[in-house]
Amino acid sequence: MTVGIQQAVAQLIARGYQRIGLAITQWVDARAQHAYSGAMLQVQQSMPRPQRVPLLLFPHNDLRRGADVFRKWIRRHRPDALISFDTHVPDWLRQLELRIPEDIGLVVHDWAESMRDFAGIFQRRDHIAVAAVDLVATQLLHHERGVPEVPRQILIPPAWIEGPSIRPQR
């Protein structure tokens, strides 16, 4: 999560973007223990103040209800690039007559094969699944049952995926 935000921001900066926004739901951020917002705020600390874009944390998980909030945020803060999970964002940008990538770059944080029109962060769920099976197999081998006393986390670094929704690297 944190690595994905850092990768996305680094890729956007390498392409000349300066005002990078993050638009996610409060629910997604809370589920990730605020790793997304925390990573973005940490990255912003190294940016000059005029380049910092306030986070857009949608209050509802049903983003069909988020269009108005999104439009107001875009008009007020004018990011030149955006990191988001939401599939509604490209349509909302077009409705605002913003062209991708000419007017605004867009990175999909949870990139999938069906999203080839976008640059993004590929979470490598296949590798996560393999690591999870390995973890369960190890627990069974050691005759461990139930929830572990000390839970373990599986951290698989994501992969950057090039795509036409951002400018080429300089």
Determine the pLDDT at residue 49. 96
Q: Write down the domain spans for the chain.
A: 2-123+157-161
Report pLDDT digits (tens) over 21-48: 999 999 999 999 999 999 999 999 999 9
Percentage of the chain beyond pLDDT 70 is: 98
pLDDT tens figures, 144-159: 888 888 888 888 999 9
Please give the pLDDT value at position 1. Answer: 58
pTM for this predicted structure: 0.87
Pick the CATH number of 2-123+157-161 from 3.30.360.10, 3.40.50.2300, 3.30.1540.10, 3.30.420.10: 3.40.50.2300
What mean pLDDT do residues 111-116 have? 88
Residues in the chain: 170
HEC readout, the chain: CHHHHHHHHHHHHHCCCCCEEEEEEHHHHHHCCCHHHHHHHHHHCCCCHHHCCCCEEECCCCHHHCHHHHHHHHHHHCCCEEEECCCCHHHHHHHCCCCCCCCCEEEEEEECHHHCCCEEEECCHHHHHHHHHHHHHHHHHCCCCCCCCCCCCCCCCCEEECCCCCCCCC
pLDDT digits (tens, 9 = 90+) for 123-142: 888 998 899 899 889 889 99
Q: pLDDT tens-digit profile of 38-80?
A: 999 999 999 999 999 999 999 877 667 788 999 999 999 999 9
At how many degrees (to 10) do helices 2-14 and 35-44 cross? 40
